[in-house]
Structure 1
Amino acid sequence: MELENIIMELIIHAGESRSFSMESLRAARAYDWPLAEQHLAAAKTAAREAHLIQTQLIGADEGVGNIPVSLILVHAQDHLMNAMLCRELVEEIIYLHREISVLKNR
């Protein structure tokens, strides 16, 4: 597969991960915990796919610059890092939503 297509796959999976994370947060705001968990699971799966592509690219580079650094590659890396951070923060926010929900219902 052409390098540009591989990088686009990375962007797609990272974008899916971020989108599912945000959908999970929206579900949590509506107190729909099963849907929130479902979206979080989908976010993790998409992030795993993106991370596998990143790992393959790093392996192909061999630490010697075999993979040319381009703006689209930097963009893809940025998407992946943002998706990972988004998911981690969403998980924490959902945890807080649940804690507040429990306290409100006491």
Structure 2
Amino acid sequence: MTSETIEITPEDIFGLIALSGDAKASYHQAMLLMQEGKVEEAQAAVAAGDATLKDAHSIQTKFVTLEAQGKTATVGVLMVHAQDHLMNTILVKEMLGYMMNMQNEINQLKGMDQ
């Protein structure tokens, strides 16, 4: 079986980096809003981050799909960097759920609940 070599474009790589970074920024904003007791605004920031992360993940899915079809690409440092950004953003999202629940309890104990 001969595999076809594909080129991962700089646009895809930098798109993955930018979208991952934007999603992570939304998640950080959500945590800051929770600390201020602004639950609805925090939830909106999480939703914005989720939408952006979905776009980033669709780029990742394209890469995985091409490889599953037997097409290979040369992976350089920028692609590794992009994958690192995506992975870290996914981890921030996972941890944010726990942190927002804890912050909500703290806010309730402080009498900050809406």
- TM-score, length of structure 1 as denominator length: 0.90
2:23 to 17, 20, 23: 17
Shift of 1:61: 2.3
1:45 aligned onto 2:51:
yes
1:5 aligned onto 2:11:
yes
Higher strand share: 2
Paired residues for 1:1-106 under 5 Å = 3-62=9-68, 64=70, 66-105=72-111
Identical-residue share of aligned pairs (%): 27
Using the TM superposition, name which of 59-68 and 9-18 deviates more.
59-68
Structure with greater Cα Rg: 2
What is the letter of the counterpart of residue 56 of structure 2? Answer: A
Higher helix share: 1
SS of 1:66's partner is: strand
4+ runs deviating over 6 angstroms = none
**Contact in 1 for aligned 2:8/2:73 (Cα 8 Å):** no
SS of 1:69's partner is: coil
Shift of 1:36: 0.4
| Distance in 1 of aligned mates of 2:65 and 2:9 | 13
Q: How many residues align?
A: 105
Shift of 1:104: 3.4
Unaligned runs of 5+ in 1: none
